[in-house]
Amino acid sequence: VQLVESGGGSVQAGGSLRLSCAASGVISSINPMGWYRQAPGKQRELVAAVTGGGSTNYADSVKGRFTISRDNAKNTVYLSMNSLKPEDTAVYYCNAKRMLSDNTIENYWGQGTQVTVSS
């Protein structure tokens, strides 16, 4: 599975960005897909995830500001980020999970895209 991200950049506080992540390769049973982020000196954290059926999960810090969506036909997941804050500054990573036959979970990661929010 290959995950290719796009859409990062620099914005001022209050601005918006939209991230995209396209999955390719052997993508059967990939579920869920989502976004994580990692700020300097901090651990990687879940931002939002979406299942193939459309169920979503958000970090408390982004609820009401970020929206995750998934286009199953295009194997693409999106993250629309509004009302951005300086604390949203991080490298954002696309993630996809697959449960294996032994019930372990295999994680796939994109290369990461920088989001910088200035005050």
Give residue 29's pLDDT band: very low, low, confident or very high (50, 70, 90): confident
Q: What pLDDT is recorded for position 28?
A: 77
Residue 32 CB coordination number (10 Å): 19
DSSP string, 26-67: S-TTEEEEEEEEE-TTS--EEEEEE-TT--EEE-GGGTTTEE
- Reported residue count of the chain is 119
Percent of the chain with pLDDT over 70: 100
pLDDT of 113 over the 80 cut: yes
Per residue in 64-103, pLDDT tens?
999 999 998 899 999 999 999 999 999 999 999 998 889 9
